Every structure is written in structure tokens, then in C-alpha cells.
Amino acid sequence: MREAQELHKPTEEYFAQPLEDNLFEWHFTLRGPVNTEFEEGIYHGRIILPSEYPMKPPDIIFITQNGRFETNKKICLSISGYHPESWRPSWSIRTALLAIIGYMPSSGLGTIAGLQYSPAERRILAKKSVKLFNT
């Protein structure tokens, strides 16, 4: 899969790779966006690709608590499986990861699996997220 080769090396913002035995399930880590309450965090999640990918969008699930998206639930974004009408086949996992980073500081009100924690609570979760990766 071409995307696995493109994403083989981590960047400062994210890292993603498929499971060895399932190219339709990817795991990612991303750093919280700079100059936000997420900045000090490292967040882990899953991307589930449909068999029709890239013609249909992936489902995105956060595993790490972050105060913006519920954990272990498919999140609702224009680049996720909740909005196939918005998806473009030219988009990629990289595009989705960059979009997630961009959406993190936005309001979670009224979205499926969206949360609206205070900035202080999100900072606490960001610091806790780093401890999870360093234990």
C-alpha cells in the first residue's frame, strides 16, 4: 500500500502505520497542535479503512483521553465515515491526520463523540497523555 510507504517515517506532528496483519486498521499518534491546550500532549488512535477506501472515508477512533473527542467511539468530522458526502478519494490518511490536528482546538459541541472540556482540563489530559507513552 502506497500510503504505508509515505507514512513510514514519523514527522514532528504525527506517525501512523497499519497493523502487520490488517492493512485496513491503522494506529496513529499525533502531537497536540502548537499554541493550544493540547500542545504538550501525545494522542493515540485508530483509523479503520473501509474495503472501498479510498472511495469511501475512514472511521477515526481516539484511544487517549484528550478532552475534545470521546475515546473508543467513532468521531464525527467531515473527513470521517460520518460524512461520506464530504470525502474526496484524493485525500489520504495523512490528510485525515492533519485535519484531526486542525480540528482539535475547535468546539466539540453538537458533534458525535465531541467533548467540550475546559482548557485547563485539556492541559491536564495532555500532560497525562505523555506519561502514558513514557511508562
So where are the chain's domains? 2-129
Cell numbers standing for residue 43: 494522542
Residue 89 phi, psi (nearest 5): -60, -20
Catalytic residue among 48, 76, 98, 112: 76
* Predicted confidence (pLDDT) per residue in 48-76, tens digit: 999 999 999 999 999 999 999 999 999 99
Closest CA to 70 of 80, 78, 61, 79: 61
- Active-site residue, 96 included: no
- The reported pTM is 0.92
Pick the CATH number of 2-129 from 3.10.110.10, 3.40.50.300, 3.40.720.10, 2.60.40.10: 3.10.110.10
Q: What's the confidence (pLDDT) of residue 95?
A: 94
